[in-house]
A and B are shown apart, each in its own frame.
Chain A
Amino acid sequence: MEVLLFGIAKDIVGASVLAMESFEKRPDTVKELKQELERSFPDFGKLSSLAIAVNSEYAEEGTQLRSGDEIAIIPPVSGG
């Protein structure tokens, strides 16, 4: 399982890819992934809209995560 980071998420983590091993507990759902992100990087708690995609598909909080999934963390960006 691999987490790709975009926009401000990349700046918060300081890398463009995050390995699942960096979490204390491996998240089973998108909701748990969000909680783990916030625990490891408190700045995620400030984001009011954060899109998460699993295998190139927009995911809901209840979406299950499986090994081998490609996850993308996509915050809104405003620049133009």
Chain B
Amino acid sequence: MDNERYQRQLILKGFGATAQQKLANASVLVVGAGGLGVPMLTYLNAMGVGRIGILDGDTVSFSNLHRQVLYVESDVGLSKVDVAKEKLSAQNSNTVLEGYNYFLTKDNALETIAQFDIVVDASDNFPTRYLVNDACVLLKKPFVYGALHAFEGQVSVFNYQKGPTYRCLFPNMPKPDEVPDCNENGVLGILPGIVGNLQALETIKLITGVGEVLSGQLALFDGLGTVLRKIRFSAIPENLQITALRDNYELECAVAPVTSVTALEFQELLELGNPQVIDVRTLSEYEGQRLSVARHIPLTELEQRKDEIDVKRPVYFLCQSGIRSAKGISLLASYFPKATLINVTGGMNQLRSYAATH
């Protein structure tokens, strides 16, 4: 162990060499290298966690820079995992860093999570949060949860020593029209810094046994009032007894069944002709990266501007992940019952490699 590097922790009463050695022996998977993931990764790496997994399929964009402070302007367009690995290894060359350049899915979740002691949910969407929960319950791994809304954040440690899980607090995944995400709702740059660091603190306590783990308690941070409240809650035993992942995490999230194509099928359509594509993301998302064939009508204006769409031809709806576009289709379906409205599953996230070259 690098005694000089960790000297201030080694002399810290209540921490010391024993806790430092536990950090060195630990492995943590950080799901999401965005707003919450960046402070998480930076501090776990600096403080001496031995092995860190970084999982994210996204690239750095300009609209990330105000809150994802590991990344700089020249990183825009590059893989978050690749950039983060390079910077973190310059910060602490002792750490074993494992990069996973993909998003967590039902098919890769168990295999990836099984390789780590502790999981951090630093994702930005409900399907991933419920998938992390269910996979961690199945594999009996504790996970450190953090999430944001505008000026507020939530933090808790789930599935720790038979303690409560995410589903004990919020049993069912919200439908896409219920709760907006940061893309739609906005977030103050410093907020994920604070919430991600609270998650990092919980992770350190979980590994070392120092202090009290935030299990069975939800911490609510209110940035406007600078208040941290804690709510106590209990485990619901059946939530700890699941035997398999759900069949589909995206489906649970759909408002109503909509006709859809996969990103791959959609790419083939783009190669063959000139389909009518409506991009329902926000203006800044659209300006950041778009398909040349796509027409931009943000979701908030879709009903009002519906007559701009030629409903005699098939219409493909596109957003970042395929959720808001499905919501757009359900908004328009009642106006145009005979129209062919088709959702692009996985949205721009899945089309990214294609968009970069076209």
B178 and A8 contact, CB distance less than 8 A: yes
How far, in angstroms, from A61 to B138 measured CA to CA in the complex? 29
B220 and A72 contact, CB distance less than 8 A: yes
Pick from B123, B152, B173: contact of A80, CB under 8 Å: B123
Q: A56-B231, A58-B169, A79-B124 in contact; A74/B147 too (CB < 8 A)?
A: no
Instruction: Give the interface segment out of B32-40, B108-116, B310-318.
Output: B32-40
How far, in angstroms, from A75 to B233 measured CA to CA in the complex? 15
Asked if A19 is an interface residue, CB under 8 A from chain B, the answer is: no
Q: Which residue of B lies closest to A43 (CB)?
A: B178
Q: Which residue of B lies closest to A7 (CB)?
A: B149
Asked if B172 is an interface residue, CB under 8 A from chain A, the answer is: yes
Asked if B177 is an interface residue, CB under 8 A from chain A, the answer is: yes
Q: Which residue of A lies closest to B121 (CB)?
A: A80
Q: How many residues of A contact B (CB 8 A)?
A: 23
Of the candidates A11, A51, A72, A78, the one having the most CB atoms from chain B within 10 angstroms of its own CB is A78
In the assembled complex, 12 residue pairs joining A and B whose CB atoms fall closer than 8 Å, in A order, are: A8-B178, A49-B171, A51-B169, A51-B170, A51-B231, A58-B231, A58-B232, A76-B179, A78-B149, A78-B174, A79-B147, A80-B192
How far, in angstroms, from A10 to B230 measured CA to CA in the complex? 18
B231 and A8 contact, CB distance less than 8 A: no
Q: Which residues of B line the A interface, CB within 8 A?
A: 32, 34-37, 122-126, 129, 146-150, 152-154, 169-175, 177-182, 185, 187, 192, 218, 220, 222, 224-225, 229-234
Residues of A within 8 A of B172 (CB): 48-49
4 tightest A-B CB contacts, nearest first: A58-B233, A80-B124, A79-B148, A77-B149
Q: Which residues of A line the B interface, CB within 8 A?
A: 6-8, 10-11, 16, 46-49, 51, 53, 56-58, 72, 74-80
B154 and A77 contact, CB distance less than 8 A: yes
Distance in angstroms from B156 CB to nearest chain A CB is 11
Residues of A within 8 A of B218 (CB): 51, 74
Distance in angstroms from B157 CB to nearest chain A CB is 16
Pick from B37, B174, B232, B234: contact of A76, CB under 8 Å: B174
Distance in angstroms from A62 CB to nearest chain B CB is 15
